[in-house]
Amino acid sequence: MKTKTIEKEIKKLENEKQKIDKKINSLKTELTQESSKSEWVIIPGTNYEVTKDVLYKGKSYDEIMELKKPDEELLTLKIIGIICEHPDLIKELKMDSSSTKDDFFFKQPFPQNEKKGRVAGFYAGSSYASLYCAWDSDYSGSDRGVRFVRKKISRSNN
């Protein structure tokens, strides 16, 4: 290739890269704003609240961890257990098998699996709900997202 042709190709690729970088930044901003829009529900008997909706659907665990806010954490198995003690809360969060489109990741409860890069998830079927720990962190599904938990924030701040 001639020098001019190579320079022209470099310029073209640099322009494409700028457009792609701009689009990526725009999408990251959009995703970060998604959690800001979510309603938070207080978890009885705790100092925590949880997102009412499953966020970041279709994103992998790795992508979600890059997008979460510093004060947001994944639900733990312990907090899921507390939620399960409150039938009205289970229903409000659609963790009662009423929705098959609200599966979510939660904090891996087994250190040996976490070291292997495994993530844990909640799955609701038409007649059951289950917790499992089997997927790699780059796995994603269109119905799977995340529910974040955070320390309670005064309602006047929301």
CA–CA distance, 92 with 138 (Å, rounded to integer) = 29
Average pLDDT over residues 81-101: 83
Say what the pLDDT of residue 74 is.
Answer: 81
pLDDT above 50 (res 158):
no
Average pLDDT over residues 9-17: 90
- Per-residue pLDDT tens digits for 34-48: 555 578 999 999 999
Alpha carbon distances (Å) from 65 to 68, 72, 108, 114, 137: 6, 10, 13, 14, 10
Say what the pLDDT of residue 156 is.
Answer: 43
Amino acid at 55: L
Q: How many domains does the chain have?
A: 2
- The maximal CA–CA distance of the chain, rounded, in angstroms, is 72
Let me know if residue 127 belongs to a domain: yes
pLDDT above 90 (res 123):
no
pLDDT above 60 (res 138):
no
Say what the pLDDT of residue 82 is.
Answer: 92
> Please, what is the average pLDDT of the chain?
75
- Say what the pTM is: 0.59
Same domain, 20 and 85: no
Same domain, 1 and 43: no
Same domain, 77 and 114: yes
Say what the pLDDT of residue 85 is.
Answer: 92
Residues of the domain holding 31: 1-37
Say what the pLDDT of residue 21 is.
Answer: 84
Same domain, 50 and 25: no
Same domain, 116 and 127: yes
Let me know if residue 158 belongs to a domain: no
Same domain, 30 and 50: no
Let me know if residue 111 belongs to a domain: yes
Same domain, 21 and 54: no
Provide the Cα torsion 54, 129, 82, 58; round to 10°: -20
Say what the pLDDT of residue 39 is.
Answer: 86
Same domain, 75 and 147: yes
Q: Provide the CATH number for the domain around residue 128.
A: 3.10.100
Same domain, 128 and 51: yes
Same domain, 53 and 131: yes
Same domain, 128 and 112: yes
- Per-residue pLDDT tens digits for 38-81: 789 999 999 999 988 888 877 777 787 788 888 888 888 888 88
